[in-house]
Structure 1
Amino acid sequence: MENDLKCLLRLWLQWDKNEKTLQTIAALEQSGNLEELRDRLGSRMEFGTAGLRAPMGAGFSRINDLTIIQTTQGFARYLEQQCPDLRQKGVVIGFDARADPPSGGNSLRFAKIAAVVFLSQGIPVFLFSKITPTPFVPYTILHHKLSAGIMITASHNPKQDNGYKAYWGNGAQIIPPHDGGIARSIEQNLEPWAESWDEGLAETSPLCKDIYDEIYRDYFRDLQKLCFYREVNTKASLRFVHTSVHGVGHVFVQSAFAVFGLDLPAAVPEQCDPDPEFPTVIYPNPEEGKGVLTLSMRLADKKDARVILANDPDADRLAIAERQETGDWRVFTGNETGALLGWWSFECWRKGAGAATAAHLPDVYMLASTVSSKILSAIASQEGFKFEETLTGFKWMGNRAHELMDKGKIVLFAFEEAIGFMCGTTVLDKDGVSAAAVAAEMAVFLAAQKVTLAQQLQNIYDKYGHHVSQTSYFICRDPATITRLFNRLRSFNGTAASYPQCCGGLDILHVRDLTTGYDSSKPDGKAILPSSSSSQMITFTFSNGCVATMRTSGTEPKIKYYTELCAAPGHNDPIGLSKELTRVVDDIIKEFFEPEKNGLIWRSSV
């Protein structure tokens, strides 16, 4: 056994106090399984802008008691440096229903362990006593003006995973420079403090308070601000089905419907109770489409419900499906739902603002990530409000929304194509609970006018221009292959910075590389959006107007691609537009991805 691995093994056996994970590593040592030891101990999870996400189990590369303690010790020390009033304000910690019986790990246990670290240092903790949606954590931060928050969840990842999602005092997910500062602080505080293993503190400390009932009450009270047609809702005949995909969302979406005066949606019985095994789905991610919604569609057909609403396991995302006149189900993409909710948000704001609409328009904003549809930009250009794009992820939109609010601006809506939606600014993060209620009210309002969601989407495109998009991904578990693929695009002609000039017969007009900070469309060649060498992301703009982005996922072994082709208002050939985009996508896959050569596995998205 090499010296480095011996040292890591010694530290694990010295530091870990959890009998199950301690014995797992000890057994691997006794059996001489160096490969498994190296996998578990040889690398450490990296703390990034999304915090941590990894499989549960023993080892420095996994989520477990020890790595939760190490991460929280670093986070606590960093907060002490950055927040002088930390011990007056405190932090909030929430958790979902994930569990790993073999290692004894589960989200509740990890939340309590994280709470103990803060409590041992005299830092107050608001600890939820029950599972909650992820949005409850950022909501609580703003509601109580706290210093930070943590949500223990792996969202829609496979069942063996868990995660540690960190929020700053502005209620948004952490971004640079705080992510780097926390990562360095973790490295400086790896050895567990003696008090960090005192599990009883979470039960006995007067600094630890259960905030579940209060936040449940206040969140749904504030949710009423997003309800504009309660009288219409109470008379609605439109029926809904909801699934929480074995996650936390059932109780909260039922409450959201009640707040809006809507009849409660029928819940998929096999999926409404939390179950960390996710027994009815391969992937607990409604973004995957009909495969995840099979039981929902079956129930909706039985109940004569026309609309399905689906949350991911931590209820921060929302998928929508609608039965068409043919009887088939249409699952809306994140971009299509973003178009609908963006249009609806503006219509509701205009109704609420009344005669003052025109005066306030210059201060009204909507946001979307750079890989999402530009439909909000098209709506903004006609209606007079402002649109901004940010880097991928709600961490960027949440922080930008906070900056705009500080300047007295009104942020109505933000979305990302990965079915994440922020309606209003009570929560500066994606929120599948509020989005479900808002979407239901929109569907009810349209139904009262005998308009379906699909028809309204067509109306939006007719007025603001058709926006056709295709988004999917490849599975690639080899980091070296990913690096080689993207570096090839940066030296396509055999020399540095020689990006492709054409693809499938179309010229490439512009290239933006947010890994290197290059943008050929700018006079100085420098990208405006922030760049990061730790992730891969290249965008190509084609001569026919198509925009295509390729990027890696920060939490999964995926290479994602996002493409969109837009037409001017009045364009009446959406089928032709879609066919043209398909041709471009096929050429991109063939020429840029080279799937067979690189061993990539294509997966279909909605």
Structure 2
Amino acid sequence: SWSKHLSALASMVQELVKEKAVEALKKCFASRMEFGTAGLRAAMGPGISCMNDLTIIQTTQGFCCYLEQSFGNLKERGVVIGYDARAHPPSGGSSKRFASLAAAVFISRGVPVHLFSDITPTPFVPFTVSHLGLCAGIMVTASHNPKQDNGYKVYWENGAQIVSPHDKGISKAIEENLEPWPESWNTEEALKSPLLKDPYQDVHTQYFKAIQKHCHHREINKSSQVKIVHTSVHGVGHTFVQSAFKAFDLHPPYAVEEQKDPDPEFPTVKYPNPEEGEGVLTLSFALADKEGASVVLANDPDADRLAIAEKQESGQWRVFSGNELGALLGWWIFHCWRQQNPDTAAVKNLYMLSSTVSSKILRAIALKEGFHFEETLTGFKWMGNRARDLLDQGKTVVFAFEEAIGYMCCSAVLDKDGVSAAAIAGEMVSYLATKNISLSQQLTTIYEEYGYHISKNSYFICHDQDVIRSLFDRLRNYGGQKDSYPTECGRFSISAVRDLTTGYDSNQTDKKAVLPTSRSSQMITFTFSNGGVATMRTSGTEPKIKYYTELCAAPGNSDVTHLKKELDDLVDAIVENFFEPVKNKLQPKPE
């Protein structure tokens, strides 16, 4: 299989040489993929900037050496490796192949490897790290990226994704171990090694046992007449969501036939990303209409994220935003927790988390109900690590979410998990149906009780780092004044500024930000006097300047039309005042 892969890569290169495709060749061979806190993500193909056998071996050799330095007992504890269903026929690369090469590298150093014998959702890897007390975990997946991409995602012994400085340490170790070790290629020997174990059955049983603890209304679930459609968008989710519904005694969801089996070509969708909303859900809506189902659940291809849509009385489908689902799931999880913990003092130990660019609805619920809310930097790696710290201090962490449809509804997995979230959402839908309440109605009830939180997020595309730098530098030296931020934006007055690139926070007495800062990425948050919050940031994985805005109204202010107009005006003012000087060098988000 190695020679087949090599000849596929060689013929790709020969083709590019024949076509004199200098730029494409440069792209493949000019610079090595950056290993960051999100691990690797790149196209499968030839060269050091792509995912292929060689770069997987080099990465794993570096990671293995870093783990040897970090843990004296790596050979006793071992690692877990999982993979999704991605494959790339032109280059011969696939997630399964990359996972077995990674296993061969560790086994060549005498490290026990728990390699799943079949595809699994991403959350199974962090679950296994915690469940078996391993040193680390690797998941080979590119999640919802286009079909030619793949990725290498790394978890630490605490069951959360790695954060700094591990990325730098691993990166350095990769550079020091570029020469493949003789045994690294030998997947056939590795797959016969007594050091190789298959955790599939055990983890399957234990994972569903762990999430079952979050099932609170078994009787309602059994008798519920609610019909739900589920799509796994050609990814790994189908069998696992079916099992999760079974664990909760829910009727199995109707599966979208054309999308239920893994298919690395993703034939029915332009992008396999349920965040894109309607286009990805067309087949789900058709099946729901046919079966008389009122709710659609959708996972991304590695099943760590969850989208939900509901049929409205008008007959239209409403696709909930990640923030709206955060409000619904946060409310539901607190509602269930409260029923099981009537002792009012226990709430002082309870925590919910969300990232700084996500809705502040959990903060509003926490203020009223008496539990703790914390925000972290963007990315589940931060929420997972913070949740671990809190759990180690004896606190209870029941929920964490990110606006990019990521939900951690169960602390057995310290990462986003679309499988447990699907079952918990299924139970919420069933419970509300017994009271004749739709998800949309419940969301309105939440907003009326805790204050409307209306958000509007978008982005501009920009490939030029100098343009991005000049845009953010202008905000830091506004009106030509050095180290001075804007105090207004059009008719809106700015009451606070937090800059997590430089570490400035006007709300703190010493003006120093509490959250970790990073010089390598741009991120500024403005708070407005009218209850608006806007964050502008660069993306770590895409050529985008993203902006996130939210208007947080006080409970009792339910003039939604006025609030929406106010937020639209605020977004227009931000685009006009903060983006305008470089607007001609930016591409708007494609419709």
Which residue of structure 2 lines up, in the alignment, with residue 551 of structure 1? 537
Deviation at 1:487, TM superposition (A): 2.6
Structure 1 counterpart of 2:579, which letter? F
Deviation at 1:277, TM superposition (A): 1.3
- Please say if 1:508 is aligned against 2:494: yes
Residues 496 and 187 of structure 1: CA distance in aligned 2, closer, same or farther (over 3 Å): farther
Which residue of structure 2 lines up, in the alignment, with residue 38 of structure 1? 26
Structure 2 counterpart of 1:396, which letter? W
Q: Distance in 2 between matches of 1:269 and 1:176?
A: 42
Which residue of structure 1 lines up, in the alignment, with residue 155 of structure 2? 167
SS at match of 2:362: helix
- Please say if 1:567 is aligned against 2:580: no
- The answer to whether the 8 A contact 2:105-2:183 is kept is yes
Which residue of structure 1 lines up, in the alignment, with residue 388 of structure 2? 402
- Please say if 1:51 is aligned against 2:58: no
Q: Distance in 2 between matches of 1:152 and 1:475?
A: 28
Structure 2 counterpart of 1:352, which letter? Q
Structure 1 counterpart of 2:588, which letter? I
Deviation at 1:364, TM superposition (A): 0.7
Which residue of structure 1 lines up, in the alignment, with residue 116 of structure 2? 128
Which residue of structure 1 lines up, in the alignment, with residue 187 of structure 2? 199
Out of 91, 94, 108, which is 1:106 matched to?
94
- The answer to whether the 8 A contact 2:211-2:410 is kept is no
- The answer to whether the 8 A contact 1:119-1:201 is kept is no
- Please say if 1:523 is aligned against 2:509: yes
Out of 217, 227, 240, which is 2:228 matched to?
240
Structure 2 counterpart of 1:286, which letter? P
- The answer to whether the 8 A contact 2:45-2:51 is kept is yes
- Please say if 1:143 is aligned against 2:131: yes
Deviation at 1:501, TM superposition (A): 2.6
Residues 202 and 591 of structure 1: CA distance in aligned 2, closer, same or farther (over 3 Å): farther
- The answer to whether the 8 A contact 2:410-2:420 is kept is no
Which stretch shifts more, 536-545 or 237-246? 536-545
Deviation at 1:446, TM superposition (A): 0.6
Deviation at 1:499, TM superposition (A): 2.6
SS at match of 2:286: helix
Which residue of structure 1 lines up, in the alignment, with residue 588 of structure 2? 601
What's the % identity of the aligned pairs?
A: 63
For residues 412-442 of structure 1, give each alpha carbon's deviation from its aligned partner in whole angstroms, at most 9, with x where no partner exists: 1000011000012010000000000000100
Structure 1 counterpart of 2:551, which letter? L
- Please say if 1:341 is aligned against 2:291: no
Q: Distance in 1 between matches of 2:274 and 2:575?
A: 25
Structure 2 counterpart of 1:404, which letter? L
- The answer to whether the 8 A contact 1:475-1:603 is kept is no
- Please say if 1:480 is aligned against 2:466: yes
Deviation at 1:33, TM superposition (A): 4.7
Residues 87 and 104 of structure 1: CA distance in aligned 2, closer, same or farther (over 3 Å): same
Residues 109 and 17 of structure 1: CA distance in aligned 2, closer, same or farther (over 3 Å): closer
Which residue of structure 1 lines up, in the alignment, with residue 406 of structure 2? 420
- The answer to whether the 8 A contact 2:12-2:90 is kept is no
Give the paired residue count. 588
TM-score by length of 2: 0.96
Q: Distance in 1 between matches of 2:465 and 2:98?
A: 29
- Please say if 1:226 is aligned against 2:226: no
**Which ranges in structure 2 are unaligned for 5 or more consecutive residues?**
none
**Which ranges in structure 1 are unaligned for 5 or more consecutive residues?**
1-15
Deviation at 1:574, TM superposition (A): 1.8
- The answer to whether the 8 A contact 1:476-1:601 is kept is no
Q: Distance in 1 between matches of 2:180 and 2:467?
A: 37
Which residue of structure 2 lines up, in the alignment, with residue 462 of structure 1? 448
- Please say if 1:285 is aligned against 2:262: no
Out of 83, 103, 117, which is 1:95 matched to?
83
Deviation at 1:196, TM superposition (A): 1.1
SS at match of 1:270: helix
Which residue of structure 2 lines up, in the alignment, with residue 11 of structure 1? none
- The answer to whether the 8 A contact 1:244-1:250 is kept is yes
- Please say if 1:73 is aligned against 2:61: yes
SS at match of 1:563: strand
- The answer to whether the 8 A contact 2:448-2:555 is kept is yes
- The answer to whether the 8 A contact 1:141-1:148 is kept is yes
Which residue of structure 2 lines up, in the alignment, with residue 6 of structure 1? none
SS at match of 2:479: coil
Deviation at 1:27, TM superposition (A): 5.8
Residues 193 and 23 of structure 1: CA distance in aligned 2, closer, same or farther (over 3 Å): farther
- The answer to whether the 8 A contact 1:552-1:559 is kept is yes
Deviation at 1:330, TM superposition (A): 0.9
- Please say if 1:258 is aligned against 2:252: no
Out of 388, 392, 401, which is 2:378 matched to?
392
Q: Distance in 2 between matches of 1:86 and 1:242?
A: 40
Which residue of structure 1 lines up, in the alignment, with residue 345 of structure 2? 359
Q: Distance in 2 between matches of 1:411 and 1:288?
A: 29
Deviation at 1:46, TM superposition (A): 0.9
Q: Distance in 2 between matches of 1:225 and 1:268?
A: 28
Deviation at 1:551, TM superposition (A): 1.2
SS at match of 1:528: coil
Which stretch shifts more, 513-522 or 17-26? 17-26
Out of 430, 436, 445, which is 2:422 matched to?
436
- The answer to whether the 8 A contact 1:69-1:192 is kept is yes
Q: CA RMSD in A?
A: 1.7
Structure 2 counterpart of 1:94, which letter? G
- The answer to whether the 8 A contact 1:241-1:299 is kept is yes
Deviation at 1:31, TM superposition (A): 6.7
Deviation at 1:17, TM superposition (A): 8.4
For residues 202-240 of structure 1, give each alpha carbon's deviation from its aligned partner in whole angstroms, at most 9, with x where no partner exists: 321111111112211111122210100011000001100
Out of 365, 369, 372, which is 1:383 matched to?
369
Residues 32 and 241 of structure 1: CA distance in aligned 2, closer, same or farther (over 3 Å): closer
For residues 438-462 of structure 1, give each alpha carbon's deviation from its aligned partner in whole angstroms, at most 9, with x where no partner exists: 0010011011011111111111111
Deviation at 1:476, TM superposition (A): 2.7
Deviation at 1:561, TM superposition (A): 1.2
- The answer to whether the 8 A contact 2:84-2:236 is kept is yes
Deviation at 1:353, TM superposition (A): 2.1
SS at match of 1:18: helix
Deviation at 1:486, TM superposition (A): 2.3
Deviation at 1:509, TM superposition (A): 2.1
Structure 2 counterpart of 1:597, which letter? N
